[in-house]
Structure 1
């Protein structure tokens, strides 16, 4: 007997054998039970999910001579002839090859003939979206009013290409991608029946790479079984022509350490193994996608078991912001790789660009200018109140009520801190007399870099906060909305101690951290804040007395 491919040998022959489509099989079984068979069905969904198989099982159930409840017996003459493709009452039409109006006209003529055997005449039209517009129009009337005992089953992978006039005349069933767990379970069942030894991790890889199609998974397994037992993950990658997730994990390590030579050597190694540079970049993107999902949701990544722990650690180390930059650069470059005349050179440049543009010091010219302007604005902002309240006599005087950066409400004692640093003995002992919040803000990147050297995770949490106030030896860090998790982490004893040690190292004094969310900081309204407003108004009144009310302009931000 000729060899039969696994996907044909293991094709379901009953509704209960169909994997992962319980919402469809239950409805069809109930329709048979209640004898409410529609004249036209549309089965849509990804490839290899059971559309044609379900159509054949429904055709067998409609014409079975010894039906077991709602399931076909698979032993009678009608069931066997349908399985062998020789049934006179069941017609399978490939719309990709028979897409013209002439073929549909022939179908319409044949529909008028009554069934020779069985109870129903079933037309299964596969890839129906390939029909031309004229062919669809010719099929329209037949679908709307077919002869008695005629059932149409249309199958397609691209339901969006089906005209609405057709969709309105059929019962539509949407087949889902089969879960990795269900595919792995069926593959394990096949291996056990064949008495073959296949590593469970290898079955997971096959299930993942089949993208929800059981037929594709069986085809991959069929090819893998040509290897000698036991069959592992590496054999699966060889069959698929992939470098594997272990290779991608090592390549990510090179990206994390910004090691140009190591990343390029890995790429060369993959190419020497016969892998396409485009495929290597695609696999790297798939791996980064799992890292991003792990970092964003905290769920277990869908990768081979031996690589899960490494992926989770890499995800925590890299952080979402950096991963997004990598994926953005690689996605843009991967779209251009297919048109590159030298794919290897393009892939090498893409890896170098990914490392270069993700380094903190290698910002683009525009970003560098914006950063410098931001630093200058922060340094100038603190002195603006004095300059505007005491102007030259020839120009109008403007006084800003809220000099705090980012338009946040001022801290209760910001002006006091600037005045008392000179004449308060206790403060002079606790804090450096010349240290101001603007200096801390200007050197904040140095603080982040030193924190990173001590503890990378602490630096990742601190990135979302900004220094906003220095009162005595207390430094206030402000976190934007949505970053309460980062604020809580910075407030933990070990992280806070690390940051305070770095601050002492950078500025030469001991500072104590206090952390707030933006809404908490803006909502603070204490007696000290009222005192601040009173002091500001006193300064304004003095300026008016000195220069005249017509020369003093008060601006609020």
Structure 2
């Protein structure tokens, strides 16, 4: 993995490169960034740069023997630890290393759901068990084999329970030239005893333009499709890549059509439309609802006179501006609440036909009957 393969994060890349050039490499670092920001990819690219035999000014060479092994994740001084779904108490990360390599090489922006798909997870909970902690200590007790550094990349330390305290000594006092790179999403879920022993590197979510440009240049999307997916992904490239695999991405057209049916209270057409939504598949339904939530929030910004903060594509912006003439902030907030609840229930396999029909009736109340929620009751505006 080279830095140039990672979307955006220019400032973070430069910081990591400078730490190597200035010989200020901390032995324990925490890459903290939201899902889809590229934090795991950055950790791997950083490890490859550290081990590269012909470092360039701004990246690893990609051609030396070390880089070639890193590109296959087979370098003997590169080790990974990650949550897994143990079938036996003695299972460790090495049990699933082939699946891990396949998953990461297919998508360096993987999340836990994608990782679960590579394993026979059944209904097991992911964790990093005590056997894995002992395995980490064993791996890091030896000197580097080929490289200047022996590197352990621990993905999602949030899944370390109290067993993680077994790692404190090796994190605080590692063998010479041993690096511990933790890659996390939620700082509050990491053991404080581990957190206090690491140097924090905060990685921000990607920007709208960064994701849009990537989708156009690397995923061959049209400007309109890239704009819609970038907007919907909200800085999460993992979500953006998942959306590319969905069959139906014209969420704007569908969502506006839904609102128009609700506003006109067209019962027969609305029932047919709900039937269409119920057949979209769960992931498309979730993306559709997420689009709706984001779109209505942009409408709220327009109503509040904060148009400079709106990032809708031109055609969608025009629609939003027209809608603000007949919608109020309280209406929008009520619709957002219903869409968020619907998203929650879709994730939990609610009956989609019943769910979308119920939400439609609620939206009719907000738009046509001018009602808004107050507590558990609905009163007229």
Counterpart selection for 1:163 from 186, 191, 195: 191
1:237-258 Cα shifts (integer Å, max 9, x gaps): xx25556211111222233344
Shift of 1:142: 0.7
Q: Compute the TM-score of the two structures, normalised by the length of structure 2.
A: 0.76
1:63 corresponds in structure 2 to: 51
Shift of 1:310: 1.2
Tell me, yes or no, if the aligned pair for 2:232 and 2:290 is still in contact at 8 Å: no
What is the TM-score of this pair, normalised by structure 1?
Answer: 0.54
Q: Deviations over 1:279-304 (max 9, x none)?
A: 45554434323322332222464445
Which residue of structure 2 aligns with residue 214 of structure 1?
237
List aligned pairs for 1:514-529, cutoff 5 A.
none
1:255 to 241, 253, 262: 262
Give SS of 1:151's match. strand
The residue correspondences of 1:68-467 to structure 2 (distance < 5 A) are 68-69=56-57, 71-96=59-84, 98=92, 99-134=128-163, 136-190=164-218, 198-218=221-241, 220-221=243-244, 223=245, 239-241=246-248, 244-271=251-278, 279=286, 283-296=291-304, 297-299=306-308, 301-332=310-341, 335=344, 342-356=351-365, 358-359=367-368
Alignment gaps of 5+ in structure 2: 86-91, 93-127
Equivalents in 2 of 1:357, 1:102: separation in Å? 55
- CA contact under 8 A between 2:82 and 2:156: conserved in structure 1? yes
SS in 1 for 2:323: helix
1:139 Cα deviation from its structure 2 partner? 0.4
**Alpha-carbon offset, residue 275 of structure 1:** 7.4
| Distance in 1 between residues matched to 2:6 and 2:374, nearest whole Å | 58
Q: Does 1:50 align with 2:69?
A: no
Paired residues in the alignment total 336
Please give the residue correspondences for 1:462-473 in structure 2 after superposition, counting only pairs within 5 Å. Answer: none
2:2 to 13, 21, 27: 13
Q: Pick closer, same or farther for the CA change 1:338–1:217 going to 2, 3 Å.
A: closer
CA distance in 1 between partners of 2:218 and 2:236 (Å): 16
Distance, in Å, in 2 between the alignment partners of 1:340 and 1:117 is: 50
Asked if structure 2 preserves the Cα contact closer than 8 Å seen for 1:201 and 1:305, the reply is no
Q: 1:261 to 1:286 in 2, by over 3 A?
A: farther
Structure of greater Rg: 1
1:45·1:176 contact (CA, 8 Å) conserved in 2?
A: yes
Higher relative contact order (CA 8 A, sep 6+): 2
CA contact (8 A) 2:277 2:285 kept: no
* Partners of 1:119 and 1:149 within 8 A in 2: yes
Q: Which runs of 5+ in 1 are unaligned?
A: 1-11, 224-238, 372-462, 464-557
| Separation in 2, partners of 1:183, 1:50 | 12
Superposition deviation, residue 63 in structure 1: 2.0
